[in-house]
A and B are shown apart, each in its own frame.
Chain A
Amino acid sequence: MTGVSPSVGALTAEFGSAILRTVVSCGDSIVYVMRERAHDVLAWLKNTPGQEFDYLTDITAVDYRDPERPLEVVYQLRSLGRKADLRVKIALDGSAPLDVDSVYDLWKGADWLEREVYDMFGVTFVGHPDLRRILMWETYGEGYPLRKDFPLRGHFSRAEQVRQALAANPEAQYSLEELSLAQAMHDLPADMTERLRRGERGLVP
């Protein structure tokens, strides 16, 4: 194949059967990996001298129109030193729950990127320090908007959406970590700290 990234050859040499297939699309190399080995593959890609994909450009997901195609989680990697790109995809079929190991320990930028994928597709990232919704409000109850079976205007009626939106507490977006960093924790009213500690966010009393 012309234009395939040299990392692909190194990956297949290192991981063998965990690399399911390779595709070249518009000059970009895409590697499909098994979900169980994905974290090892990504760690290897980051840490190995000669690979050094130190910059996580994006994490996103794709839900294809054809129901036969599984939902794919996409990692776009870049090596700043070598000026090389690589795309790693994990195909999640419906047989197992949509769980993937978090790469927060490898790239800190994965924090909010994984939160976005969770919010829009419902993929749970195991090991993520603070997995909660980021684009929709935390108590959003209609599901995961960017999935293909989610209707464009949402499941609830407009009146119900307005009612739920007005009842959501915008302050609840702050995590316990952010609050303690801002040293606001001891300034919060006691019942609010209790609710935050119990993990109850976004409900107006």
Chain B
Amino acid sequence: MVVTPPAGGVELSAVSPNWVTTRLDFLSNWARSNSLWPMPFGTACCAIEFMATAASRFDLARFGMERMSYSPRQADVLICAGRLPFKLAPVIRRIWDQMPQPKWSISMGACASTGGIFDNYAMVQGIDTIIPVDVYVPGCPPRPEGLVYGIMLLQKKIKGESFTDPDLRQEHLLDDVGMFLPPERVDELSEPFGNSIHQTRSG
């Protein structure tokens, strides 16, 4: 993981927190959390539940999230809804890299969080091995209320941010060998659990 310094040389986090910064934080965090334009990276069944959440009964428009951005350039939050094959891994990594700051990500569903029921050769065992994740929403698929709860957790997280924090808004790039996390960490996160332990086949 490599972090990047800001462009232009203006480092806001060099300011020490005071009353003005907290008021500005309140303003920008309120604005950001109430207009999170999602990028629906919907690959499978969770995408259907995401569509249901956006529709009239559960309504994402009351969070300011009805404007879906299918281009990463105008998106705030990447919602990975669905399982991710290894073949799609470089795609989501590139799309995440191409989202401008500030950006957050929600891992929706069991497959995006841990690989779900697909503990096999073809599926990524959790997108947090590839991109940084802010909120995990469990479920297969999560109920729309579950996703809304996850979104509200993200809103709470955003409201707690401060631009004087130097660790904020860092780009976590791939390292020299092309990995996001160190190999031991990836293996640790991908360790089979639950019923997966009993599911082996020859080899």
Interface of chain A residues 18 through 35 with chain B (CB within 8 A): none
Contacts of B43 in A (CB 8 A): none
Interface size on A, residues (CB 8 A): 27
Contacts of A164 in B (CB 8 A): 86
Contacts A158-B187, A159-B179; A165 near B200 (Cβ below 8 A): no
Contacts of B201 in A (CB 8 A): 148, 150-152
Check if A154 is an interface residue, CB within 8 A of chain B. yes
**Of B91, B180, B183, B200, the contact of A157 (CB 8 Å cutoff):** B183
Which residue of A149, A159, A160, A169 has the most chain B CB atoms within 10 A of its CB atom?
A: A159
CA separation between A91 and B90, bound complex, in Å? 38
Check if A50 is an interface residue, CB within 8 A of chain B. no
Interface string of B158-189 (1 = CB under 8 A from A): 00000000000000001001111001101101
Check if A122 is an interface residue, CB within 8 A of chain B. no
Interface residues on B, range: 20 to 34
Contacts A137-B87, A150-B202; A159 near B121 (Cβ below 8 A): no
Contacts of A149 in B (CB 8 A): 202-203
Is B203 within 8 A of A162, CB to CB? no
Check if A83 is an interface residue, CB within 8 A of chain B. no
Check if B18 is an interface residue, CB within 8 A of chain A. no
Check if A170 is an interface residue, CB within 8 A of chain B. yes
Is B87 within 8 A of A162, CB to CB? no
CA separation between A152 and B192, bound complex, in Å? 12
Is A165 within 8 A of B87, CB to CB? yes
Contacts of B130 in A (CB 8 A): 162, 166
Contacts of A167 in B (CB 8 A): 90, 178
Interface of chain A residues 133 through 169 with chain B (CB within 8 A): 135-137, 142, 145, 148-155, 157-169
Check if B21 is an interface residue, CB within 8 A of chain A. no
CA separation between A145 and B183, bound complex, in Å? 23
CA separation between A160 and B186, bound complex, in Å? 9
CA separation between A1 and B81, bound complex, in Å? 52
Interface of chain B residues 8 through 62 with chain A (CB within 8 A): none
Check if B129 is an interface residue, CB within 8 A of chain A. yes
Is A152 within 8 A of B186, CB to CB? no
Contacts A149-B202, A166-B178; A159 near B186 (Cβ below 8 A): yes
Check if B4 is an interface residue, CB within 8 A of chain A. no
CA separation between A155 and B29, bound complex, in Å? 46
Q: Whole-angstrom distance from the CB of B189 to the nearest CB of chain A?
A: 8
Contacts of B93 in A (CB 8 A): 166
Is B203 within 8 A of A168, CB to CB? no
Contacts of A150 in B (CB 8 A): 121, 201-203
CA separation between A161 and B183, bound complex, in Å? 10
- When A and B form their complex, which 10 residue pairs have the shortest distance between CB atoms, in order from nearest? A151-B203, A159-B183, A154-B121, A158-B190, A165-B86, A159-B186, A152-B201, A165-B89, A159-B187, A166-B178
Interface residues, chain A, CB within 8 Å of chain B? 135-137, 142, 145, 148-155, 157-170
Interface residues, chain B, CB within 8 Å of chain A? 86-87, 89-91, 93, 119-122, 124-125, 129-130, 174, 177-180, 183-184, 186-187, 189-190, 192, 199-203
Apart from the given pairs A150-B201, A165-B124, 5 other A-B contacts in the complex at a CB distance below 8 Å: A136-B122, A153-B121, A158-B189, A165-B90, A166-B93
